[in-house]
Every structure is written in C-alpha cells, then in structure tokens.
Structure 1
Amino acid sequence: MDVILPKPLKAGDTIGFFSPSSPATAFAPTRFMRAKAYLEQQGFVLKAGQLTGCSDHYRSGTIAERVSELNTLIRDPSIRCIMSTIGGSNSNALLPYIDYEALKRDPKIIIGYSDVTALLLGIYAKTGLITFYGPALVASMGELPPLVDETFASFRDLLCAERQQSFTYSVPAQWSEEMIDWEKQTAPKSTHDNRWEFLGTGTVSGRIIGGNLNTMTGIWGSEFMPEVREGDILLLEDSLKGIETVERSFCHLKLCGVFDRVSAIILGKHELFNHRGTGRTPLAVLQEVLNDQEMPILNGFDSCHTHPMLVTPLGVKADIDFDAETVSLRGPWLEQ
C-alpha cells in the first residue's frame, strides 16, 4: 500500500474535533472551553463534532452516532486536521464503519493518543495515511502554561512546517504527571526534571509503529492492526495501570513474536504507574519479559499521557542514535 501524506497546517486552517469514546466536552466543560480558546488564539478555526457536549454515561454516544461524527469531519473539505477531544476505552468500535475512501480522496491530519491509538493504527492500516500520535484537544490543549505551550510547540513544529524531511526531538526540561481535578485547576502543575534513557549503542533506524499498549490489544489480530515488520521501532506507552497489567501486556507482545521483529523500543513515560509495592518500573518489567534478549530501548519518551506531549508520526522512519542520545525523524510525514 502506498503511503499517503496530509498537507501541512497553516494559520486560518480549520481543526475539527470529535469524541470517539469518553465525553470530555461534557464532563470537563471548563477545560474544553480553555482548550478551544487556546487553539483559536494560535490562529486556527475550530469546528465542533456533532457530539460536543453530549454524554451517554461512559461514552459520548452510540457507535453509530460516534462514527457519524467522525465521518462528517472526514467528508468536510474545509477541515484540514481532525483532533480527538480525549481517549477512553471504546474507539475501536468505530473501525468497521469509517469512510476510508473519503480519507484517501482528501487526506487530513488525524491526531490523538491513548484509546485513539485504535483509530490511528486502523486508518494507517486501511489507507496508508500517516497518522499522528499526539495531543488531544481537551486532555492536552486544556492544560495550563507553561506545559501546554510546550505541547503546542511540538504540534506546530511537526505539523505546520512545509518541506520537512527531517526533525530531531529535544528533551523537554520539565514534565508532569500530577493529577488535578480538571474543573478546579487554576495553577500550573508541579513538575519534575526530565531525562531520557538511551539503553543501547550505535544507531537504529526503522519505521515507528505502535501507541498505547493497552489499546492495541483491542485491535490485535484484526485487519485494523498494521503488521509489525522486521526492523520496526515500536512505540509503547500506557497510563494508570498496575504492574500486573503491564506485565501481561508486555508478555502478550513477547508471545506474538513482536520483540523478535522490532529493532528498538521507544517506551513512553507511564502516568502514575502503580507498582503494587514492588518499587519496580515499567522498564524493569519490560527487561524481565525480554529475558536478556538484546533490545535497544529509549526509555521515558514524552509522547504519552504526561505533559508536555510530543507529536510522533506513525508510519514514518526514525533514527535513534544511542551514542549521541538523539531521536530524529526521516520524512516526509507531510505533503511536500
């Protein structure tokens, strides 16, 4: 399948937003309005999906209503970027009903994270369109400065620049996983000094594929899960999980032979990981599951549930230089 590239964003373009699972615009209206105003201040036009403000308890609407919302945005020629409002648990329900042919005719930037992994990977698998693991409207763009400004800087640098053939990520100086009631937050979150661990030597090159570890189990073995190829770089991240769940998920990949095919793993920060009293980290769990199998690992990458969030194109080749401790994209990921 040929790779399809969306066009870069520019000032004045329209970003459509949708709620494929959790009803964040309903349960966090203050944060939603702050996020919408923030992107409008950056020069974009925001167009609401039809389920904005709606709630069906754990989700924004029925499967039919949610896919109708997404397809309406896909078919709208004025919209150049489609951004999720948040994740949830049930985005995979939409996959059989998406208008993939419309996306092929009019490619758009599709961006989100967490449960939206199912849609990003499914769209890439069915169309070849490069999709973007990156900020969601309410969850990411509703954060307060300075963290939201760093998230937006990554969004701008990756998605608003023309003729990009390469890009090297910078390590954010600070990061946060502090949990604050979204409707009561009035001050910036507390932060930690940041660092990435480069566990390997030399340079590894490969196609980036992956996303939220827990979500991928909901599409594994289906036509909507791209094949993990020999030499791929596997992006993995998760949030609010216990160590027992993370071990099971890593073992699932081991049993499926995924670790025998990939050339390296990018492990994102795990938001509020519950080590169940063990004191162990997701990295330690992964290394135990690998059982001394040689595997270069970049640990602590900031394309995850923590703030700030870096945009990561899925389906694009990258270089990880473990000696120089750099991560670079080798494009293009946008139409030139």
Structure 2
Amino acid sequence: MITYPVLKKGSTIGVTAPSSGVPAELHELLTLACKRAEERGYSTVCKDTAWTQQKARSADAAIRAAEFNAMLRDENIDLIIPPWGGELLIEILDQLDFEAFPAKWVLGYSDISLLLLAITLKTGVATAHGTNLIDLRGENMDATTAQWEAVLSTKTGEQVVQEASEYYQAEWQHDNPSPYVFHLTEPTRWKTTESEPVHITGRLLGGCIDTIRHVIGTPYGDVARFQQTMIQNEQLLWYLENCELSAADLRRSLVQMKLAGWFAHCAGIMFGRSAANHAVQGYTAEDVYQELADELRIPILYDIDCGHMPPQMTFVNGARATVDMAEGRAKVTQHFCP
C-alpha cells in the first residue's frame, strides 16, 4: 500500500543537504531560492548542511543523516527539498530512520533520486522526482516545472495530468539565468522504439541511473519485495535518466538491473534527455534503447522531460501512471491510488 503526503499552501519547506550542500561562493543562490519560496507563500527552514560543502559532500554521513532524521521528526516541517543533488548520498542510507518514516514529501533529483527510491521501496511512502530548490530561484517558473505544486497537492484517490514541455534546455548557463532560470530553446520531442501511438500504464519507480544502480542487491534496492508487498504485483513503469554515463556504461547498468530482476513484470521504461550518452565505437544510446526493448519486449520512450536537461515533469514513486504518446507529444496521468 502506498501512502501519499499532501502539500498545502503555506507549508514549511525544510532545506537540508543529504548529498551536496552549497559552498560559500554560491550562498546567494540558496538565499534567493528561499526568498522566492517565501514570495510564493511558503516558509523555509535551512539547516546547517545546506550551507556547507567539502570533499564532495555537505558534511560527514552521520551529520547529514542526523539532520535529515531530525527534519523528518519535526512536525513543523511539511516537506523537504534539498538544494540540489551531489555525489555521495549513498553514505547515509544505513543511518536513516526508515522504520518511523512519516507521510512527508521529499522532492528532488540527481543524487537525491537514490534517497527517493530507497524511501519508497523501504516504506511505501510516495516520493517526488522533480525540481530541486536552487532551480526554483527564478522570478517565474516554466509551465512544466511549475507543476510540482499541483502534483504534490494531489490527494489520495485523485489524479493529476502533466503535458510534455514545449521546449527544453540544451546547455546550462549558470552565470546567465533567465527569469525561469532555464534557457528553453530546443523543441521538445519525445521518442520511442515502438510504432506510435504508445499507451503504457504502471506504477512509477525511477531516478538517476548513475546513483540508483548502486543499491542493487542491498536492502535499499529490494524492488521485488516492494512489488509483492506494497503494490500487489502491479506492473512497474520505470523512468530513468543518465547524468554522466557513456552508452556502454549505460548498457552495463541496464543489464545489471535486468539481471537483478528490476525489470521483471515491467510495463515500459522511459529515459530522460541526456547530455551524456556518449557513443562508444559507434554504439549509441539509441542502440541501447532498442536492444532493451527487444530483450524485454516492452515499449521504450526516450528524450522525455526528466533529468539534467530541464524542464522536467514531477514523477511520483509509487503512483499509478498512464502515459499516452503520439507524434512526439505526450501526456502523463498520475493516479494516487493506495
């Protein structure tokens, strides 16, 4: 059974850095992001780790875990949004209090997606893969990013619909942010290995392949248990995105997932746009997608609104989603069923 938190206007956002914090020279970004959240009607509470960064992490694992656990227990904190991702979140998993996990939203992506996946697999509490806090520092939000509020405000038993973006960002311009932070210049076109139209339904799970692959075979990556005990053996619909992997490393990671049973009883897989996916001796990401589709005999969608080439939809781990795609356009309907 899946438990869904509910976002309410006026909620308090807890800001902690279970992976990377914000170094001193970039503190103005975090300050501005908190200011924008408050202008939109939220309160913010920034804890110590959000403001520190050294040796690829915000703080020692014990400090990060303790701060996150305290924020979970704090009844005055309604949802948790880390400033951004990072590299070494995996260090804190064995120190988190999964046994007493409340119905509280955690939102983020990149390395944070490992935390999100582990929470939902271990506890059945839904988590949200989408924007980070730093990317909400703009004067405005583009239509796709802005949907995070509507998605997180959806109640159990209700559904929420998101449409594919019109344009996406090809490359970051950190020193020249637009009023939306992003520079959305390239026409969005979702693609597929199948003949169109494509219609897929399944329970959402996913994240950044670079990080989530490392919990295969651990207590934090028990997909089979989740499927059997929490969603009554419904089919899964995976969304995955690649931050830094070459096409060959992507293939290795996906084969490992397949061998570990992560794609058993799977309705389909969706891959986000990626600036990585570098070809290896002519072997491309598109080759990887087609081979996986042929092996699993399921539809594969790619270049979707997910990951490090924004904007991105807000995908809820545990929700039942229906995806309809044709002629490069797509609609994702998430049903918050237990």
TM-score, scaled to structure 1: 0.86
In structure 1, stretches of 5+ residues that fail to align are: none
In structure 2, stretches of 5+ residues that fail to align are: 228-232
Match of 1:224 in 2: 220
1:53 partnered with 2:51:
yes
Give the paired residue count: 323
Match of 2:176 in 1: 185
Give the alignment of 1:251-330 within 5 angstroms.
251-275=255-279, 278=282, 280=284, 282-291=285-294, 293-322=296-325, 325-330=330-335
Give the alignment of 1:116-265 within 5 angstroms.
116-138=112-134, 140-142=135-137, 144=138, 148-162=141-155, 165-180=158-173, 182=174, 184-187=175-178, 189=183, 191-200=185-194, 203-228=199-224, 229=227, 231-265=235-269
Q: How many angstroms apart in 2 are the aligned matches of 1:164 and 1:158?
A: 13
TM-score, scaled to structure 2: 0.86
Q: How many angstroms apart in 2 are the aligned matches of 1:193 and 1:53?
A: 36
Q: Deviations over 1:78-115 (max 9, x none)?
A: 111101111112112211211234423xx211111111
Shift of 1:67: 0.6
**Counterparts in 2 of 1:289 and 1:128: CA distance versus 1, 3 Å:** closer
Shift of 1:325: 4.6
The one-letter code matched in structure 2 to 1:240 is: E
Q: How many angstroms apart in 1 are the aligned matches of 2:27 and 2:206?
A: 31
Q: How many angstroms apart in 2 are the aligned matches of 1:227 and 1:22?
A: 26
Measured on the aligned residues, the alpha-carbon RMSD in Å equals 2.5
Q: Is residue 223–residue 262 contact of structure 2 (8 Å, CA) maintained in 1?
A: no
Higher deviation after alignment, 45-54 or 30-39: 30-39
Q: Deviations over 1:40-63 (max 9, x none)?
A: 211111110221321222110001
The one-letter code matched in structure 1 to 2:3 is: I
**Counterparts in 2 of 1:268 and 1:14: CA distance versus 1, 3 Å:** same
Q: Is residue 205–residue 318 contact of structure 2 (8 Å, CA) maintained in 1?
A: yes
**Counterparts in 2 of 1:186 and 1:322: CA distance versus 1, 3 Å:** closer
Q: How many angstroms apart in 2 are the aligned matches of 1:163 and 1:64?
A: 34
The one-letter code matched in structure 1 to 2:151 is: L
**Counterparts in 2 of 1:26 and 1:287: CA distance versus 1, 3 Å:** farther
**Counterparts in 2 of 1:292 and 1:125: CA distance versus 1, 3 Å:** closer
Provide the identity percentage.
25
Shift of 1:195: 1.5
Higher deviation after alignment, 244-253 or 308-317: 244-253
Q: Secondary structure at the match of 1:284?
A: helix
Q: Is residue 271–residue 306 contact of structure 2 (8 Å, CA) maintained in 1?
A: no
Q: How many angstroms apart in 2 are the aligned matches of 1:272 and 1:145?
A: 29
**Counterparts in 2 of 1:219 and 1:26: CA distance versus 1, 3 Å:** farther
